[in-house]
Amino acid sequence: MKILAIQLARLGDIYQSWPGLRALKRMLPDAEIHVLARPRFMGAFEGLDAVSKVKVFPSQDILSAYGAGDVAATAAEGQILTPRDQLAVAKIENVVRDLEDESYDWIINLSFSPLSADLTSLLSGPDTKVSGYTRFDDGYLNLPDAMSAYFFAQVGHDRGNRFHLCEIFGTLCEVDLTPADWRAPVLPAVRTELPGEYIAVHVGGSESHKSISVSKWISILRHLRGLQPFKFVLIGGQEDADKGLQLQSVAPDGEVLNLAGQLSLLETMSVIANAKCLIGPDSAPIHMASLTGTPTLNLSVGQVNHYETGPRAAGSVVLKAASEDELMSNVIGDRFIEMVHGLRYPLGTIEVKPGTPSYTGSTTREANFVWDFMQAIYMGTQFPAVEELIFLEGIKQLADVNSFMLEQLEGVRTVEDLQNRNALLQRGEEVIETIAKLVPALAPLVRWYQTEKVRVGPQPLDRVLSRNIEIQRLLQGVIEIYKPGGAPATQPEKDAL
């Protein structure tokens, strides 16, 4: 079997896909696994022996067509595409032809993006197994599997998901992960002599809202130096080299070694593997540390859901903050000392644990309800009890509009009937979406409902109607649980949703 895994995301997502790809190779030892990655990030697959070939998607080369000064930027009369569009399309066609020649049996799209959906659709034939985002024949998004639908509906920093991205990737690969899937590759020696015992500090960040400023790092490292005389080794990309120099310049001689911008990815992983622990924001090094088993103090700043992208090495801790101003040096210091000495963390600390969710720590009652509600919808667990009047009022409103939607759909017999009722049906959908905005606890249910509508795809009218009616009835099944007289013990069948 020949498999293509499409991973067009950044370094962090690539390292989080390692366990799933390893498990896939373990389950299918004779399979030939290729990956498709962008040139800038393809180095993150170095050392992953589960992958036999890394294919390049030349995104910059394709985009360069739009900066070609000698190519017209306006379309000729009667043409839709400009010459620059045509040049970009030609470059994409070259990539697609090369990949088509491989005749893949299974395409796994690990990138949840429009571009990756386009590529998956272009590369898949009638006999190709597909997992992840793709396209229907009419070009609309196709969510062919349960995890793709779940991701589309429920994953993101502002949603209640508590499945880690590693498990999401593993599910797309149709494997169960084991601890052995998180392991470091064979690592090179670092060219620079390292201290005998040190703390690795990642001073960069893949996105500005996740990064920590030089002034904040100075404050943090000064406080840590006062607690225990550890050496610090700074890591990061080329763009972090100046930040590393600034931090080194204000530290006592010999206390900070700046390697930011000086190491390959595998050398960076080697530094992390030999460190006492890693301190850093949400970015690739914490996922390297998950593979090397290095405890991580994750300074999680900004719009990040640690349940999805936090560290996985045992003993790791997440300190969440809306901005770096909320990161208190004394709190960081306390967790740091507890981590390096193996002490018990205080109650409420967000700490890594086995299983799903992968973290302990106090959360709000509202957040716990949303997660329990999502598990009931998708996994068939018990629907949680609820007392909030606004939720029950939202259920009542959903019941009314859903009954209206069912009545309209069940009255359709012809295309003309559907056209005549289309405005009413659209209005019903708008009301359902408004209810989710007014009652956030109902949003997971509404997003599930809307996603199932997206999944219907182009079919004959009778099938489209049948599936839409089925979705409305499944929604009604959940509504009935929370209506007066309903009971969380009576719910739709586990696999119904």
pLDDT, tens digit, 9 for 90 and up, residues 140-186: 999 999 999 999 999 998 899 999 999 999 999 999 999 999 999 99
Taken in order 108, 138, 152, 374, the sign of the CA dihedral is negative
pLDDT confidence tier of residue 67, bands split at 50, 70 and 90: low
Regarding predicted confidence, which is higher, 269 or 486? Answer: 269
pLDDT confidence tier of residue 493, bands split at 50, 70 and 90: very low
pLDDT confidence tier of residue 494, bands split at 50, 70 and 90: very low
- In a domain, residue 354? The reply is no
Same domain, 436 and 468: yes
pLDDT at 72 over 90: no
pLDDT confidence tier of residue 496, bands split at 50, 70 and 90: very low
Same domain, 277 and 375: no
Tens-place pLDDT, residues 197-238: 999 999 987 677 788 999 999 999 999 989 988 899 999 999
Comparing CA positions, the residue from 435, 448, 451, 456 lying closest to residue 477 is 448
Return mean pLDDT, the chain.
Answer: 93
State which of 349, 380, 397 marks the end of a domain.
Answer: 349
Same domain, 162 and 294: no
Which residues make Cβ contacts (< 8 Å) with residue 486, sequence separation at least 6? 480
pLDDT confidence tier of residue 81, bands split at 50, 70 and 90: confident
Q: For the ranges 63-77, 284-298, 385-399, which has the lowest average pLDDT?
A: 63-77
- In a domain, residue 489? The reply is no
pLDDT confidence tier of residue 88, bands split at 50, 70 and 90: confident
State which of 300, 319, 349 marks the end of a domain.
Answer: 349
Same domain, 161 and 97: yes
- In a domain, residue 356? The reply is no
DSSP character string of 413-433: -SHHHHHHHHHHHHHHHHHHH
Comparing CA positions, the residue from 273, 256, 271 lying closest to residue 191 is 271
pLDDT of residue 68: 64
pLDDT of residue 490: 40
- In a domain, residue 192? The reply is no
pLDDT at 36 over 70: yes
The span from the CA of 211 to the CA of 242, in Å, is: 14
Regarding predicted confidence, which is higher, 160 or 65? Answer: 160
Instruction: Tell me the residue type at 66.
Output: Y
Burial 402-418 (b: 16+ CB within 10 A, else e): bebbbebbeebeeeeeb
Average pLDDT value for residue range 451-466: 96
State which of 287, 318, 349 marks the end of a domain.
Answer: 349
- In a domain, residue 478? The reply is yes
Average pLDDT value for residue range 485-496: 48
Say which CATH number the domain at 113 has.
3.40.50.2000
pLDDT of residue 265: 98
The span from the CA of 300 to the CA of 306, in Å, is: 7
- In a domain, residue 494? The reply is no
Q: For the ranges 184-193, 285-294, 464-473, which has the lowest average pLDDT?
A: 184-193
The span from the CA of 401 to the CA of 476, in Å, is: 10
Same domain, 261 and 125: no
pLDDT at 395 over 80: yes
DSSP character string of 81-141: S-HHHHHHHHHHHHHHHHHHTT--SEEEE---SHHHHHHHHHH--TT-EEES-EE-TTSSE
pLDDT of residue 66: 67
Average pLDDT value for residue range 381-409: 96
pLDDT at 426 over 80: yes
Domain count, the chain: 3
Same domain, 66 and 164: yes
CB 382, CB 488: distance < 8 Å: yes
Same domain, 235 and 136: no
- In a domain, residue 188? The reply is no
* Reported pTM: 0.92
The span from the CA of 176 to the CA of 322, in Å, is: 33
Same domain, 309 and 224: yes
Same domain, 430 and 475: yes
The span from the CA of 252 to the CA of 136, in Å, is: 61
Owning domain of residue 386: 366-482
